[in-house]
Amino acid sequence: MRDTFDILLLPGDGIGPEVVGAAREVIDAAADHFGIEVRYEERRIGGTAIREEGEPISEETLEAASASDSVLLGAVGHPDFDNAPVRPEAGLLGLRKHLGAFANLRPVVAIPALIGSSPLKREVVDGVDVLIVRELTGGAYFGEKEEGEERASDLSVYTREEVDRVARVAFEAAKRRKRRVTSVDKANVMATSRLWRRVVSEVAEDYPEVELDHVLVDAAAMYLVQAPRRFDVVLTENLFGDILSDEAAMLPGSMGMLPSASLGKPGSPGIFEPVHGSAPDIAGEGKANPYATILSAAMMFRHSLGRPDVAEAIEQGVSVALEAHFSTPDLGGKKTTEEVTKAVSKWVAAGEGVM
């Protein structure tokens, strides 16, 4: 197993620097415990990059991302740029495109210690373990755009190759789980969805051990809050995946609990980031929930750096901290970002209690 890693840190906007700083502290604790070396480079993305560098992500930052083993990102976005010609989010889209990160993995797990934080009934949430696989580089987000005072459009385009490659990621993941893939589309009205459904069905023929069903996106949105345990791996396109994974944040109780991994071809750097936004309204107040970014770091060690042992230690540290009631305000608790971070770090470093 490797023991030296180069990680590019892109804290971004709002609470991004706080949660990335928290994840770095936990990574450092893991590095000490496991005897590995982690080398960091930190650069700008999003609104901070626009202010300091004139663009949401520079060529130098893209080159640094390519040269890294992995990228750990905080959040992008700020209301100061809501009406600006260039938005902070363009930096993230540019990074995904540059690294060829076409598959976004978003695990949604109902942690026992947090079931009471969910607005849904315990019997609905208990036992939920869903992996959302979202296509990242096609669809309306990347299509040709037209924007005027009287007319606007976002062209949604998918190719067979784009659907095929992300579908295989979902089916491979399902083989290691409960062997069920639910493909979500809008095939009753959208041509892109009909292509999506055909290609996914063809890919399924290569995975006879995996059960496939197709669900329209409106029905999938209902099932996520009505009967989420019916899902194992959810496969869907860019726009639908963005919306459904945000909805799924209510299952564990907060968007602050959802990590993600954006992956491309084997061997290429992955991008690991929390699903939540930049939350500039609470930046600097110590209220930010760092768990999603810490769990994203765990995903980084599992999916990009080849150290599942480190990933498991970080995940166990999160579970122990939550069981000990280290919860931030979004989870109904009163702990600060720093208190949560130190609780997880202490367990990861020593493998023992957090109190």
* Rounded alpha-carbon distances, angstroms, from residue 71 to 10, 88, 189, 233: 7, 17, 37, 24
Q: Could you tell me if 74 and 15 are in contact, meaning their C-beta atoms sit under 8 angstroms apart?
A: yes
The C-alpha atoms of residue 64 and residue 333 are separated, in whole angstroms, by 38
DSSP code of 238? Answer: H
Q: What is the distance of C-alpha 34 from the center of its chain?
A: 25
Note the maximum CA span of the chain: 61
Q: Could you tell me if 155 and 143 are in contact, meaning their C-beta atoms sit under 8 angstroms apart?
A: yes
Q: Active-site residue among 6, 129, 154, 246?
A: 246
246 is catalytic: yes
Q: Active-site residue among 141, 158, 207, 291?
A: 141
Q: Supply 48's token pair.
A: 């901070």
Q: Active-site residue among 186, 287, 335, 346?
A: 186
Using a 10 angstrom Cβ sphere, with 0-12 exposed, 13-18 middle and 19 or more buried, the burial of residue 325 is middle
242 is catalytic: yes
- Bridge-based pairing of strands 129-135 and 103-109 is antiparallel
The C-alpha atoms of residue 178 and residue 84 are separated, in whole angstroms, by 45
Q: Active-site residue among 13, 69, 185, 242?
A: 242
141 is catalytic: yes
Select from 24, 2, 66, 23 the least CA-distant residue to 270: 66
Residues taking part in catalysis: 141, 186, 218, 242, 246
